[in-house]
Structure 1
Amino acid sequence: MLVETLPGARRGQTLAAALCAFALGTLPAAAQTVKWDMSMEDRANSLPGEGAIAFAEDVAKATNGQVVITVHHGGALGFKNKDHLNAVRDGVLPLAQSLAGAFSGQEPVFLLSSLPFVARNLDEAKLLYDVARPAYEEALARNGQKLLYSSPFPPTGIWAKKPLRTVDDLKGLKIRTYDVNGTITFKNLGAAPLQVSFSDVVPQLGTGNLAAVLTSADGGRSLKLWEFTPVFNDLGYAFPLNITAVNADAFGKLSPAQQKAVMDAGSAAEARDWTAVRTWEAKNYDVLRENKTEIVKDAPPAFLDALAKAREPAIKDWLDKTRANGKSILDTFAQKVGHQ
């Protein structure tokens, strides 16, 4: 929630004049303190969680404490990723960081980064984001918001109770997915997918509603998933994004200097997180090994081929919903990848 605080009136200024200036909104922006609450579901010890803290610190420093952002991790404000688009649009939250695919019900373009096996590595994931960024900005603008920065996740794999090597290992598996792409893909493979918000994963594992979790090594580390699913199957399934967006009206109330500070901090956060993700996986694996997690790599080609085939309906569904815009993004991406 945005709060603006008026400091004490200068010496010689009457109380009436101060109240009048406040009512008319004529006080200079430098005399105001802006306090924003930022909601996100990821934990503070995750890559995007740490990045959000650094972003808030950069904003406070660049504005000399005039813009203060308090980051609330783990869904502490009561909002899920899927709630953020409307909450920020309606001004209930001034800004939020969200798993992009959670917005797919209203803006399907945000499912792009989690289309299985489209981006095959971090370089391609960044290229895909760069190609799609104008479309993301347009979608957010339709919802009264401004894109501040993206934060990538390490590649998605499957946390399970055993290594997954064949399609038969997926049959009937109660697996958590994070968006409709995963739900379509794993249903086609005979699994029993359940779309579950990140902050609800551990409770669902605890009750037995889930037996496996589609997420990154980073997500699993932050939730200590080895306590339920001691095997991480590294599949390179997708490189989903978190998107940090601010309410356009709230942003518009900042002074030009404050706006620049927020945007510069967003650019720095994006560059920092995209750099950090390249070494984050090794750090994750060190923690996983310390906690006796079995890391399974080099999935059999036949298994990966089956996953790739099962994803085709998800890609078709995305293209049907995004139409020419989606096709243009994928065509441009494919052309740029081919030229790398």
Structure 2
Amino acid sequence: MKKLLLSALVCAAVSASPAMAEDTIKLKVIGQPLATGLIQKNKEQPFFETLAEKTGLPLKVNYKPLDTTGIKDVEQLRVLKSGMFDLVSLRMSQISRDEPTILGLDLVGLSPDFAQGRKVADAYKETVDERLQERFNTKLLGVWPFGPQVMFCNHPIESLEDVKGLKVRVYDQNLAQFVESVGGIPVPIGFGDVHQSLALGVIECAITGPSSANSAGWPEVTTHVLPLGFQMALNGYGINLNAWNKLTPDQQVTLQSAFDGLVDEIWTYSEELFEDAGRCNVGGEPCTTGTKFDLVEVPVTEKDLSIVANTVKEVSFPTWAEVCNKTNPECASDWKRDVGAIAGM
């Protein structure tokens, strides 16, 4: 009788424990939109398609790019929290509407280059992770960049000052505040709708990375590019905690290690794409990853650089902190603790 009781207890314990190594682990994954270009195509999708093989984990991954799902990027955290998908390639600026703390990763003027962007991401990602776990039942697996976001216009400009009075596509409130501060008219438009909006004259300018713009054909409907970095366009990977907790501790370590490797790879690849696409867009050589266009490259002036450098203290941090502290009272103080020294504050 005692043996039967012991056997039953062991079976019950096993059934309540995380997934054993031989169990199939199903992951429903949302990736970056196809329209965003080469990082999605050459790094992200192949990673998920070969994840089981590379890690040795018993995974069955169902990967879908965001723009094939009918789900909007601003809904990603809600989708993760609900468990509709297990893992999502998070578009940080867009989901910051649901969790303003996230935008502290990428305030306008905070990260003019990749080196600064990596420092900020590494310093602040744990704070973001804690907030996502607390409010959205989501663990942050890593943060990576599309690279410095620059301005494309179908209207002749010679400096940042010439944006005054022009309608400029933006993708988050922090960037909108900055565009307003230099006299532009911010217009929030999803990435997939920008090409048509530029072609129809709904907007005169739009901001994104050189590689994404090249892949989406923005140079077909613009004439000038101002290669002044406003934001780093950080993105990340989030996994629903219920899915994460089904893994054994060893499986969690293996999966996290795989994402660490992917993130490092994308940081390097993103910088290569940024430099190459920047040349492609203005007809330069070498141009190996994109389509060659003939945009006018607007020289970046010292005044332009100064305006963006001062933006963190004067515009982007104060306006963001006011909004963020309303939902997260420790928001500004946590950011200063983690990032203040890096930002020169």
What TM-score do the two structures reach when normalised by structure 1?
A: 0.82
Residue identity opposite 1:195 in structure 2:
P
Match of 1:114 in 2: 106
Aligned to 1:302: 303
Q: Report how far residue 257 of structure 1 moved.
A: 4.3
- 1:267 aligns with 260
1:51 and 1:218, CA in 2 relative to 1: closer, same or farther beyond 3 A? Answer: same
Secondary structure of the residue aligned to 1:335 is coil
* Deviation digits for residues 39-65 of structure 1 (CA, Å, limit 9, x no counterpart): 433536332553312431452213547
Residue type matched to 2:318 in 1? Answer: K
Structure 1 residue runs of 5 or longer lacking an equivalent are: 1-20
Alignment of 1:168-247 (within 5 A): 168-247=161-240
Contact 2:159 2:298 in 1 (8 A): no
Pair 275,80 (structure 1): closer, same or farther in 2 beyond 3 Å: same
Rounded to whole Å, the distance in 2 between the matches of 1:336 and 1:304 is: 18
Q: Is the Cα–Cα contact under 8 Å of residues 149 and 209 in structure 2 kept in the other structure?
A: yes
Contact kept in structure 1, 2:125 and 2:143, CA below 8 Å: no
Structure-1 residue corresponding to 2:151: 158
The match for 1:129 among 109, 121, 125 is 121
CA distance in 2, matches of 1:324, 1:126: 23
1:88 to partner: Cα distance: 0.6
Give the deviation of 1:117 after TM superposition: 1.4
Asked whether the equivalents of residues 73 and 91 of structure 2 are also in contact (C-alpha less than 8 Å), the reply is yes
Q: 1:319–1:327: 8 Å Cα contact kept in structure 2?
A: no
Query: Structure 1 residues 70 and 309, CA, compared in 2 at 3 Å: closer, same or farther?
Result: same
Q: Please state how far the C-alpha of 1:177 moved relative to its aligned partner.
A: 0.5
2:316 alignment counterpart: 314
Q: CA deviation at 1:299?
A: 1.4
Q: Pairwise mapping of residues 134-153 of structure 1 onto structure 2 (< 5 A)?
A: 134-142=126-134, 143-153=136-146
Q: Distance in 1 between matches of 2:292 and 2:34?
A: 21
Which sits farther off after the overlay, 289-298 or 136-145?
289-298
Q: Provide the aligned C-alpha RMSD in A.
A: 2.8
Which range moved further: 328-337 or 78-87?
A: 328-337
Rounded Cα–Cα distance in structure 1 between residues aligned with 2:202 and 2:159: 22
User: What is the rounded CA distance, in whole Å, between the counterparts of 1:180 and 1:245 in structure 2?
Assistant: 22
Superposed CA offset, 1:151-189 (max 9, x none): 212211101124533455212212110100111111222
Further displaced range: 79-88 or 206-215: 206-215
User: Which blocks of at least 5 consecutive residues in structure 2 are unaligned?
Assistant: 1-11, 284-290
Is residue 2:339 matched to residue 1:333? yes
Secondary structure of the corresponding residue to residue 131 of structure 1: helix
Q: How many matched pairs?
A: 317
1:76 corresponding residue in structure 2: 68
Q: Partner of 2:87 in structure 1?
A: 95
Q: 2:275 aligns with which of 282, 293, 305?
A: 282
Which residue identity is paired with 1:192? I
1:103 deviation in Å? 2.2
Distance 1:153 1:304 in 2: 20
Closer, same or farther in 2 for the Cα pair 1:44/1:161, shift >3 Å?
closer
Residue 52 of structure 1 is matched in structure 2 by: 44
Where does residue 34 of structure 1 map in the other structure? Answer: 26
TM-score when normalising by structure 2? 0.81
- The alignment partner of 2:67 has SS state of coil
Q: CA deviation at 1:74?
A: 5.0
